[in-house]
Amino acid sequence: MVTVKLPLSMLLLFLLLNIFQCSAEILYIPVTKEASTLQHIIEVGQRTPLVPIKLLVHLGGRSLWVDCTNSSSYKSSTYKSAVCNSTQCFMSKSHGCGNCKFRSQLQPGCNNNTCYIWGENPLINTYIDHAEVAEDVLTIGSTPGVRVTWPRFIFTCLIDPDMVRLLANGVTGTAGFGHESLISIPNQLALDPRFTRTFGMCLSSSTRSRGVIFIGSGPYNVYKPKKVDIPKDIVYTKLITNKRGFLLSDEYYFQISSIRVAGQDVPLNKTLLSINNKEHGTGGTKISTAMPFTILHTTYYDVVKTAFIKALPKNVTLVEPPPMSQFGDCFSSENIKNSNVGPDVPVIDIVLYKPSAFWRIYGANSVVQVTKDVMCLAFVRQDQRWNPTIVIGAHQLEENLLVFDLPRKKIGFGSSLKLQQASCSMYDNTIMS
Ligand SMILES: *[C@@H]1O[C@H](CO)[C@@H](O)[C@H](O)[C@H]1NC(C)=O
Ligand SMILES: *[C@@H]1O[C@H](CO)[C@@H](O)[C@H](O)[C@H]1NC(C)=O
Ligand SMILES: *[C@@H]1O[C@H](CO)[C@@H](O)[C@H](O)[C@H]1NC(C)=O
Ligand SMILES: *[C@@H]1O[C@H](CO)[C@@H](O)[C@H](O)[C@H]1NC(C)=O
Ligand SMILES: *[C@@H]1O[C@H](CO)[C@@H](O)[C@H](O)[C@H]1NC(C)=O
């Protein structure tokens, strides 16, 4: 009897613990789409006294970094740079330690006996090796009824004016949601037992209503006005770590097996679908919230475009892309009907590990209206020889829920919320202050 009772009670304990874990809370971080750059931006409070700081959402970023170039603009009585060999330095996997070399006077971003890591600007693919590790007060997002403040949030402070290049006006840093770095936002927030290392991301397509990042395992709900449980139709695939040098291991890569346009596979050079470890981790597919539109390797773009145009209704005429446009292929929208998932154009399926596991891109995410009667294929053709073959950008992600399950190393793709007449802005706004 005893041998039966013991495991049973342990099972019960396990179940109880599990229930406790499932009822963990969700932290809601509102995300704004900035109109002129199309960047997705969050606002946090930092420092003492608290000031609002705008940050670019950088999914594959290893830390939250802020610009500290101007010595008089970072004012805080609670800023503390990380002393060499401290826990903070180990957590951030710093590669170096030393004294301030770049300024004549010490300031945030340039202190003595302090460790540093690499800082990155994903918009210009630029890295610097002396991002000072530091901690300060941070408020980020909110949970129903609770304001969450981190008294000692680890971030990095950069003193290089180049690093803010191309950031939208008023944005002074990036919010890194990387999966490897222990100081990335999801990994650091999960040190609070109320949250887990899983997060959902639902970017808004509108510059007037905010999308959201949900920190925690869910359920992630939207309302219209009744609750729509969005994770139901999510397709999961493996999250791959690309050990491309040490700089890019926080990026979110996944394997695709083919691309279908209007239900037909397009002929792709399959070699480029996988990460090429012999060529320093080039190739493969990653997600970047910093890129406004998906970038395709030239040969991929060409076959997708050809299949897409072929599948358009015959009475749709091709037109020249507008001058200065980043798009290569445009058409008259006159004969394009509308549907609940945007312009009624051929669907594009990103096929994952088997033909029935795919993420479908509808018109709202595959084309963009550039003038009153011209629409363009919303993909960018680029020589990706030294880069990922495919970089999934924000336009393709908008109004789709993505789930990043870091403990189980999985990425989940939900289909367009427009199918349910819902949107990423319809999360529970009542909890926001
Ligand atoms: C530095 O920041 C201060 C305070 O925010 C501001 O008054 C000053 O103009 C800034 N200087 C430069 C060079 O940007
Ligand atoms: C930090 O640790 C390294 C080796 O672990 C040691 O060589 C170095 O002297 C330490 N630095 C300080 C400031 O304690
Ligand atoms: C910081 O280190 C430099 C040498 O690298 C030294 O000249 C300076 O006095 C130090 N500052 C402080 C406040 O310790
Ligand atoms: C596919 O791409 C690889 C890598 O760029 C290249 O070496 C190979 O020749 C390509 N294959 C075909 C059939 O074009
Ligand atoms: C254009 O073609 C589509 C499908 O082929 C058809 O449904 C639509 O009525 C046509 N529009 C016009 C204006 O002819």
User: Tell me: the pLDDT tens digits for 170-202?
Assistant: 999 999 999 999 999 999 999 998 899 999 999
Ligand 3 pocket, CB under 6 A: 99-100, 106, 112
Instruction: Indicate if the pLDDT at residue 57 is higher than 50.
Output: yes
Separation of CA 118 from chain center? 19
Instruction: Indicate if the pLDDT at residue 146 is higher than 90.
Output: no
Cβ of 73 closer than 6 Å to ligand 1, yes or no, is: yes
**Does 227-431 match 2-218 at the fold level?**
yes
Kind plus residue range of the DSSP H or E element containing 177:
none
Instruction: Indicate if the pLDDT at residue 75 is higher than 90.
Output: yes
Q: Where are the domains of the chain?
A: 2-218, 227-431
Ranges of H-type helices in 198-294 = none
Q: Tell me the three state secondary structure of residue 233.
A: helix
Q: Could you tell me if 327 and 380 are in contact, meaning their C-beta atoms sit under 8 angstroms apart? A: yes
Give strand pairing partners of 374.
332, 371
Cβ of 267 closer than 6 Å to ligand 5, yes or no, is: no
* Phi, psi at 287, each rounded to 5°: -110, 135
Q: 427: closest CA among 160, 78, 120, 142?
A: 142
Ligand 3 centroid – CA 105 distance (Å): 9
Ligand 1 centroid – CA 131 distance (Å): 21
Ligand 5 centroid – CA 305 distance (Å): 21
Strand spans (E) along 300-399: 318-319, 330-332, 338-339, 342-343, 348-351, 358-361, 367-371, 374-377, 379-382, 390-392
Q: Best substitution site from 71, 73, 75, 160 to test ligand 1's pocket, by max atoms within 8 Å of Cβ? A: 73
Instruction: Indicate if the pLDDT at residue 76 is higher than 90.
Output: yes
Question: Rounded CA gap, 123 and 34, in Å?
Answer: 15
- Look at residue 145 in the predicted model and tell me its pLDDT: 55
Q: What is the mean pLDDT of residues 324-342?
A: 96
Query: Of the ranges 2-16, 54-68, 195-209, 395-409, which one carries the lowest mean pLDDT score?
Result: 2-16
**Which one-letter amino acid corresponds to residue 375?**
M
Cβ of 269 closer than 6 Å to ligand 4, yes or no, is: yes
* Phi, psi at 383, each rounded to 5°: -70, 105
Separation of CA 122 from chain center? 11
Ligand 1 centroid – CA 70 distance (Å): 6
93-144 residue pLDDT tens = 999 999 999 899 999 999 999 999 999 999 998 999 999 999 999 999 877 7
Q: How far apart are the first and last CA of the chain?
A: 55
Length of the chain: 433
At 429, is the pLDDT very low, low, confident or very high (cuts 50, 70, 90)?
low
CA dihedral 48, 52, 55, 57 (to 10 degrees): 100
225-276 residue pLDDT tens = 778 766 678 999 999 999 876 677 899 999 999 999 999 999 999 999 999 9
Q: Does the N-terminal peptide bond of residue 193 adopt cis geometry, omega within 30 degrees of 0?
A: no
At 380, is the pLDDT very low, low, confident or very high (cuts 50, 70, 90)?
very high
Q: Could you tell me if 13 and 128 are in contact, meaning their C-beta atoms sit under 8 angstroms apart? A: no
Q: Could you tell me if 337 and 371 are in contact, meaning their C-beta atoms sit under 8 angstroms apart? A: no
% of the chain with per-residue pLDDT over 70 = 91
* Both structure tokens of 292: 């406004």
- Look at residue 346 in the predicted model and tell me its pLDDT: 98
Domain spanning 227-431 has what CATH number? 2.40.70.10
At 46, is the pLDDT very low, low, confident or very high (cuts 50, 70, 90)?
very high
Instruction: Indicate if the pLDDT at residue 10 is higher than 50.
Output: no
The per-residue DSSP string of 253-320 comes to EE---EEEETTEE----GGGGSEEGGGTTEESEEE-TTSSSEEEEHHHHHHHHHHHHHHS-TTPPEEP
- Look at residue 289 in the predicted model and tell me its pLDDT: 97
The ligand 5 atom at the shortest distance from the C-alpha of residue 315 is 1
C-alpha distance from residue 132 to each of 81, 158, 301 (Å): 7, 7, 40
- Look at residue 280 in the predicted model and tell me its pLDDT: 87
At 430, is the pLDDT very low, low, confident or very high (cuts 50, 70, 90)?
low
Give strand pairing partners of 240.
253
At 9, is the pLDDT very low, low, confident or very high (cuts 50, 70, 90)?
very low
The ligand 3 atom at the shortest distance from the C-alpha of residue 112 is 1
Q: Does the N-terminal peptide bond of residue 219 adopt cis geometry, omega within 30 degrees of 0?
A: yes
Q: Could you tell me if 242 and 284 are in contact, meaning their C-beta atoms sit under 8 angstroms apart? A: yes
Give strand pairing partners of 45.
52, 139
Domain spanning 2-218 has what CATH number? 2.40.70.10
Mean pLDDT in the chain?
91
% of the chain with per-residue pLDDT over 90 = 80
Cα angle for residues 293, 298, 302 (degrees, 5° grid): 90
Give strand pairing partners of 202.
212, 401
At 399, is the pLDDT very low, low, confident or very high (cuts 50, 70, 90)?
very high
Q: What is the mean pLDDT of residues 408-429?
A: 89
Ranges of H-type helices in 312-382 = 363-366
| Location of structure tokens 């051929």 | 346
Cβ of 340 closer than 6 Å to ligand 4, yes or no, is: no
